[in-house]
Amino acid sequence: MTSIWIRRPLGVFTADTATPDASAAGGVVVQDGVIVELVPAGGQPRTAVDETFDASQHVLTPGLINTHHHFYQTLTRAWGPVADAPLFPWLQRLYPVWARLTPRAHELATTVALAELLLSGCTTAADHHYVFPKGLAEAIDIQVEVVRRLGMRATLTRGSMTLGEDDGGLPPQSVVQDLDTILADSQRLVESYHERGPGAQIQIAFAPCSPFSVTTDAMRESAVLAETLDVRLHTHLAETFDEEEFCRNRFGMRSVGWLTDRTWLGHGIHFDDDEVRRLGAAGTAIAHCPTSNMRLASGIARAVELEDAGSPIGLGVDGSASNDASSMIHEARQALYLQRLKYGADIPVVRALGWATRGSARALGRDDLGVLAVGQQADLVLWRLDELRFSGSHDPVAALLLCGADRADHVMIGGQWRVVDGAIPGLDLGALIAEHSAAARALVA
């Protein structure tokens, strides 16, 4: 099998405390989809290499990992009626639009979201899909196909909404499903697609949408099934004060078998000191979504304290209707600045890069991804610093966030090049944008 030496990068960030950046200053050697050797500064690989990639103009990082998104929402980006709305009115205006989602529009939306992520250095993405109108029962199956086509990795969550307007919930009755249907489909998806072990490309998780759109039973039963099938659990939690009040009134409790290291929570903003401590002790992970939280003025997550308490912290771009971009490298910059605003300017740049890589991998339950170390999957990104925005910069790793890196130059996933010279081989972006834009117009027409 072919081995390739990513040779002597301009800068390197391993994301691994056990593997100082200097130990990979001479680059990494990849064989059979896995990192087999780190090369120190000025060194030569001990492994016989067939190919060399000259990385002297590139910064090398692990692939970035997105832990929270709603791919279908790329169809409702920057939509006038909700451009200036907070979460609850924003949702109420959008639910009826999303209820019109078709299989083809969903496929296009998924492709757009993943392509945008990939070009921003993302190699693994989680999606939270909870809209299953009539005719879209195979929403997750469609996503599996798109992920495979692009050669990325994904944790696709089977989302759900069971609590409609008639029962005091937020979503319209037309988009809620009964619990038996949801659980049966969840099990089918795990049996059809869920891969286990190192190098898994597709994983399935269960994701009741949020406490204000599902019943207590759905929360509890999803947790039981996740445990039985050994898959992960995800939901939105503590995103806004509105929600906080809704949950306390309705359930009188905030989790139903969910305080576990099987769970990663979207947003997780409004936790008190005791909750931070308990979440940390349980190892429950948080998908920090800084841009979305600023866009909807939801608040600032206590990411630094949660991480110090023991919670893995990952980053999420969140759905494209509340970001409205899907750039992982932008998100890492936003996370750095939002957390500095709360905790001070000495939050290190590399801590935010760590959330986007190692932290996100842990949030998704992956120990084979997120760092550059021997035995890890060869998911890596090469960034060029020859754009105007980087001119005059000194520390190449810090420059990625401080100067606002925008686009990956090369991306490797499992040893395969998925981005080459800033483009995705085999994907006609112009045609994709044209068809996706038409579908987006049709959805709100």
Instruction: Please give the Cα distance from 258 to 406 (Å, whole number).
Output: 36
Instruction: Please tell me the number of Cα atoms within 13 Å of 49 on its side-chain side.
Output: 19
Interacting residues with Zn ion (CB under 5 A): 266, 318
Residue 422 Cα to chain centre, angstroms = 21
Structure tokens at 151: 């050669």
C-beta of 8 vs 68, nearer to Zn ion: 68
Instruction: Please give the Cα distance from 419 to 411 (Å, whole number).
Output: 5
Q: How far is the CB of 49 from Zn ion (least distance, A)?
A: 43
Instruction: Please give the Cα distance from 225 to 223 (Å, whole number).
Output: 6
Q: How far is the CB of 73 from Zn ion (least distance, A)?
A: 8
Q: How far is the CB of 239 from Zn ion (least distance, A)?
A: 8
C-beta of 94 vs 408, nearer to Zn ion: 94
C-beta of 266 vs 280, nearer to Zn ion: 266
C-beta of 237 vs 353, nearer to Zn ion: 237
Query: Are 114 and 125 contacting, i.e. CB atoms less than 8 angstroms apart?
Result: yes
Q: How far is the CB of 399 from Zn ion (least distance, A)?
A: 30
Whose CA is closest to 319, among 166, 116, 161? 116
Give, in order, the Cα–Cα distances in Å from 234 to each of 159, 208, 256, 266: 9, 7, 13, 7
C-beta of 36 vs 265, nearer to Zn ion: 265
Can you tell me which residue has the tokens 């286990």? 196
Q: Hey, what's the torsion of the CAs at 321, 249, 96, 181, to 10 degrees?
A: 100
Q: How far is the CB of 101 from Zn ion (least distance, A)?
A: 16
Q: How far is the CB of 122 from Zn ion (least distance, A)?
A: 16
Instruction: Please give the Cα distance from 342 to 104 (Å, whole number).
Output: 42
Residue 85 Cα to chain centre, angstroms = 24
C-beta of 62 vs 290, nearer to Zn ion: 290
Q: How far is the CB of 339 from Zn ion (least distance, A)?
A: 19
Whose CA is closest to 247, among 319, 239, 130? 239
Q: Omega of the bond prior to 21 within 30 degrees of 0, cis?
A: no
C-beta of 116 vs 318, nearer to Zn ion: 318
Structure tokens at 428: 């006609």
C-beta of 171 vs 266, nearer to Zn ion: 266
C-beta of 235 vs 339, nearer to Zn ion: 235
Count of residues making up the chain: 445
Q: How far is the CB of 364 from Zn ion (least distance, A)?
A: 15
Backbone angles phi, psi at 84, to 5 degrees: -125, 30
Instruction: Please give the Cα distance from 370 to 156 (Å, whole number).
Output: 18
Q: How far is the CB of 379 from Zn ion (least distance, A)?
A: 24
Can you tell me which residue has the tokens 């409205």? 324
